[in-house]
């Protein structure tokens, strides 16, 4: 089992920045990649970004490309999501998820999930 805990959410004005962290524990040696997803009220959970556990490959949704950056913090054993130039439409609960096998952009490709952290961007 892999346990994931997100932190760093909050309220920010449009144009501002937030940095989320996903702390991983347990059988992290089995993790191939970590994904970030978000879910706004009344909407489906959507892919935001993903990163190989090694930190070698990153993928971003078109809606966040150029504004968000995901990275591995090997010292803290976290996966971080730096969010810049935030927009009101970025408001959602943000989740990190881990997969032990090949994954894509679908939530079904990830086995382990954190509890989520709320990000609210005011206009």
Q: What is the pLDDT of residues 6-23, one digit of tens each?
A: 999 999 999 999 999 999
Average pLDDT over residues 69-76: 95
Residue 102 has pLDDT above 90, yes or no: no
pLDDT for res 59: 97
Alpha-carbon distance of 35 to 14, in angstroms, equals: 24
The two three-digit tokens of residue 16, written as one number: 């501002």
């Amino acid at each position: 089992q892999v346990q994931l805990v997100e932190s760093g959410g909050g309220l920010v004005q449009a144009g501002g920045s937030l940095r989320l962290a996903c702390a991983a524990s347990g059988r992290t040696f089995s993790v191939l990649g970590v994904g970030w997803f978000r879910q706004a009220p009344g909407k489906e959970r959507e892919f935001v970004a993903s990163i190989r556990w090694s930190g070698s490959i990153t993928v971003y949704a078109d809606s966040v490309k150029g504004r968000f950056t995901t990275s591995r913090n090997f010292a803290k054993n976290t996966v971080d999501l730096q969010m810049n130039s935030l927009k009101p439409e970025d408001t959602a609960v943000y989740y990190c998820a881990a997969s032990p096998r090949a994954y894509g952009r679908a939530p079904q490709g990830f086995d382990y999930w954190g509890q989520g952290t709320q990000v609210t961007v005011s206009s």
